Structure 1
């Protein structure tokens, strides 16, 4: 198994990417600590991971709260003896699809502050333990917005580009201490659109384009080299590989999981 005896913390563990990754990590032998703001969603994700054979604990933690995240990381390290993997899969509903003239400063800054603050907070908390043990993997999640241009993308583009820059810089800082940083960049994930906030967000983007949501998604899939959007299990399986010792020389990378929407 890829992650046998590894200790993994997943912030946003009750969300679509977080829960799918928990299942993949569970199948690969990791011990899991899921954190997030919704206890029912965390418990549901934990039950699925336990069914795949993992030992799982959950905790209600606001990833923007430095003290709470630090306390949780310390608890995990005390219980498990170490933190080998930390994934930030926290998501935020935010405005997209609007021209700059129709976008408020608050709406523009909301995803930037949300994603960059929570990734800083969770990475800092886990990195303290990883640097001390001289090993570990930090995983972050971006979007193709970092490399796209067009109407309605400014907040998403700024937060994604900022997160990718943060991940690259952190890889260089922590590499000498044996800590790797890997950022994945999936496109809109077709089977993640069932969550309420994701469905509502993409529904607004589709509405701004003047298309029904299904037609808008079909058009989005048509812009990829594979002619489809990625699915959750593909993203989760890649994260499991990236977190494993088989990827021991991989750091500072932005992994393109966009199904060919972007071609590097």
Structure 2
């Protein structure tokens, strides 16, 4: 198993967090899944089924994040993987000039703040261990001609900010044996609410924009994250892993 004996903290008990946790557990990791909603976490743990512990933690609360990371390190003996996939609370579908500043800037503040807190909390323990992997979602939003009529709000700036953090952390932490990565998809149609007004248009754009005719699924995210967190990927750091099926060409 790729992650046998590894201890992982995953922030976010939604669909992405559950998919990643499921893959990590399958590959032998002990998973600590955290989020703000205990009910959501309990449902996620029920789906995952085994080797997962849940805790109610607000990834925007510095004290809660630090205390939980310290508790995991003390209980499990190490923090080998930290992955932040909480919601960025972004608003999409409205032209920038019609948005309020709060709606536009909120996902930037949420993403940068939470990833700063969770990354630093894990890194303090990883530095002592001289090993570890920190991961998040990132990647600039690809503006396909098919999406000229769609407005992404502040999520483009948000992802660009996350990528800048990824590069900075990779440089600062690499000397301590810590890898920092981001995963980039062209979008996850499974995460779009069924009643979302433009859902089918977005899904169609995901698929049409790929070279392979299929977009990444939640299971794909879990599988790639498990590989990226494993020792098989020990030479990969400071970069984004492109899961766009060719939508974005490197």
Q: TM-score, normalised by structure 1?
A: 0.88
How many residues align structurally? 246
Q: 2:67 pairs with 65, 71, 76, which one?
A: 71
The structure in which a higher percent of residues are helix is: 1
Q: 2:238 pairs with 241, 246, 252, which one?
A: 252
**Cα distance in structure 2, aligned partners of 1:216 and 1:241:** 28
Q: Per-residue CA shift, 1:123-147, capped at 9, x if unaligned?
A: 01000000011110001112441x5
**Cα distance in structure 2, aligned partners of 1:229 and 1:262:** 12
Q: Per-residue CA shift, 1:24-67, capped at 9, x if unaligned?
A: 001100011110011121112222323xxx42211000000011
1:238 aligned partner: 224
1:104 aligned partner: 100
- Check whether the contact 1:186–1:256 (CA below 8 A) recurs between aligned residues: yes
- Check whether the contact 1:21–1:236 (CA below 8 A) recurs between aligned residues: yes
CA shift at 1:83, angstroms?
0.3
**Cα distance in structure 2, aligned partners of 1:225 and 1:20:** 24
**Cα distance in structure 2, aligned partners of 1:31 and 1:67:** 23
Q: Does 1:60 align with 2:47?
A: no
Q: Per-residue CA shift, 1:51-100, capped at 9, x if unaligned?
A: xxx42211000000011000000000010011000010111332122222
1:209 aligned partner: none
- Over the aligned positions, Cα root-mean-square deviation in angstroms equals 1.7
Deviation above 2 Å: which 4+ runs of structure 1? 47-50, 147-154, 190-194
**Cα distance in structure 1, aligned partners of 2:135 and 2:178:** 11
1:123 aligned partner: 119
- Check whether the contact 1:84–1:135 (CA below 8 A) recurs between aligned residues: yes
Q: Spell out the pairing of 1:27-38 with structure 2 (5 A cutoff).
A: 27-38=26-37
Q: TM-score, normalised by structure 2?
A: 0.93
Unaligned runs of at least 5 residues, structure 2: none
